Amino acid sequence: MSTSTPPKSPTVAIARILRGLGLVQGSDFRVTGDYRNGERIGTYVLALTRNADEVIATNADEIERLSQEGEFVFRVSVRYPCGDRPMTTVANYGSRVREAPPAPADEPEPSPAPQAPEMVAPTPEPVAADPTPEPEPAAPGPADKLVAAAREQDWESRRASALNWSAGQADLMDAAGAASLLFGRDGVLRHHPRPGRPARTVADGRLRPLVDAGFLVITEPYGPGSKRVSVTDDGREALLLWRRWRPTPMAKDRHQEREPLRPLLGGRQAARASRAFTEFTKKLEAERAELYAAMEQLHAWEDRDARLWDAWARVNGITHRLGRNRPAAWVPTDEEIEQHRLDPDVVAELRADAECPQPRPELPTGRAALMPDLPPLPPARDEIVQLDLFHAA
Backbone angles phi, psi at 132, to 5 degrees: -65, 125
Query: What mean pLDDT do residues 102-116 have?
Result: 57
| pLDDT for 88 beyond 80 | yes
Helices (H), the chain: 10-20, 50-58, 60-68, 142-161, 167-177, 207-212, 233-245, 268-316, 334-340, 344-355
What percentage of the chain carries pLDDT values higher than 70?
Answer: 82
Tens-digit pLDDT profile for residues 273-294: 999 999 999 988 888 899 999 9
Task: State the pLDDT confidence band at 27, using cuts at 50, 70 and 90.
Answer: confident
Tens-digit pLDDT profile for residues 204-245: 888 999 999 999 999 887 666 678 899 999 999 999 899 888
Cα 224 to chain centroid distance, Å, stands at 30
In this structure, the number of other CB atoms found within 10 A of the CB of residue 330 comes to 15
What average pLDDT is seen over the chain?
82
Model pLDDT, residue 385: 40
Model pLDDT, residue 298: 93
Query: What mean pLDDT do residues 298-327 have?
Result: 86
Model pLDDT, residue 86: 85
3-state secondary structure of 4: coil
H helices then E strands: how many in the chain? 10, 9
Model pLDDT, residue 108: 52
- At residue 267, what is the residue type? G
Query: What mean pLDDT do residues 2-18 have?
Result: 84
What interhelical angle do 233-245 and 142-161 show, nearest 10? 110
- Of the two residues 82 and 388, the one the predictor is more confident about is 82
CA dihedral 30, 34, 39, 41 (to 10 degrees): -110
Asked if residues 12 and 19 have their Cβ atoms less than 8 Å apart, the reply is no
Model pLDDT, residue 390: 33
Query: What mean pLDDT do residues 245-262 have?
Result: 91
- At residue 65, what is the residue type? R
In this structure, the number of other CB atoms found within 10 A of the CB of residue 219 comes to 14
In this structure, the number of other CB atoms found within 10 A of the CB of residue 76 comes to 21
